[in-house]
Amino acid sequence: MVRNFSSRATRVAVFCAVAVCAHPVFAASQGTATQADAALMRGLAKHDRTAVAALLDPDFTWIDSRGKSQDRAMVLRNLPSPANPDERIQVREYGTAAVVRTDRDRMHVLRVWVLRPNGWRALLYQEVLQVSQSESPGPGSSDCENPCRSIPFTPRTESEKGAVASWQGVMRAMASDDAEAYARLIADEFTATDTHHSRPFSKSDRLVQIQKLKQTGKHSAPPPLVSARMFDLGETVMMIAREQRPNHKPYFNTRMWVNRDGRWQMLFSFNTRIE
C-alpha cells in the first residue's frame, strides 16, 4: 500500500514537472507579474505568437513611440519589437494591477498588467521617446471647460466616476495654479513622462512648476479631451485618453489612479505624441 502510494505520487510529480516544462508560459502566467512580464519579453524576442497571445488581455493596446496604436489582433498579426527589452524593470503592484517600467536615456516604456482568473495579462504596452530639449506648450489660460468642468466621455462604474472627478480636480488645480489642491490628488510616487519634455517629472517637480506659474501670473490650461477608454481594475482605474491642444498634434495620455483612504490619487501620466 505504501509502495503504491509512493509510486502514484512519483508519477504525479513527474507529470507536473513535465507539464511545467512543456508549458512555461502557463507557469509564468500563474506566477507573479514580474514572471509574466519576463515571459512576454521572451515571447516577443522569439517571435512566438502562441506564447505572446497567451499573455495578452482581450483589451490589450500597444502604443509605439510615434503614437501608432494597435489592438491585440493587430499585434498578433505582426509582432512588434519592444523598446528597452533588456533594461532593468521597475515594478509596482496595486492589488490586481501591476505597473512595469523601463527607462533608457530618452526612451521610456510602460507595461500595465492586470490579474485575471487565469493569471496576469498585459493590458497596455506604451512607449514615450522624449525630446532632447523641452518644448513650450504655448500660451495658456485659466479658462478650462474641457476637461476641467465637462468632458466628451461618460464613466461607467463608481470607481471610474471617482477617478474622473479626481482627474478633473487635478486639471482645475493646474489651470488655476493651485499647488495645494494638486498635491492632495497626486500620489507620492507619481511621475509624468511627456513626449514634449526632456525628462520625467516627479510630484515635487510638478509642484515647483505650478508655484512658479503662480508667481509669474501665468497659466497652463490642460489640453481638451477628445476621446477616452477606461478600465476599472478594482483598487486602480486606468484611462487611455486622446487629447489635443489647439493647433498642435494630438497625443495619447495614459493615466492610472489608486484609491487610498477613500481618495483617488493619480499614479502616473504617460504621454505619447501622435506623429
pLDDT for 233-248, tens place per residue? Answer: 999 999 999 999 988 9
Q: Give domain limits for the chain.
A: 2-129, 158-273
Give the architecture-level CATH label for domain 2-129.
Roll (3.10)
Residue 223: which region, alpha, beta or left (left: phi > 0; alpha: psi -120 to 50)? beta
Instruction: Please give the distance of CA 164 from its chain centroid, rounded to a whole number.
Output: 16
Considering only the top CATH level, what class is 158-273? alpha beta
Buried b or exposed e, range 175-211, using 16+ CB within 10 angstroms = bbbbbebbbebbbeebbbbbbbbeebbebeebbebbe
On the question of a common fold for 2-129 and 158-273, the answer reads yes
Tell me: the pLDDT tens digits for 88-122? 999 999 999 999 999 999 999 999 999 999 999 99
pTM: 0.87
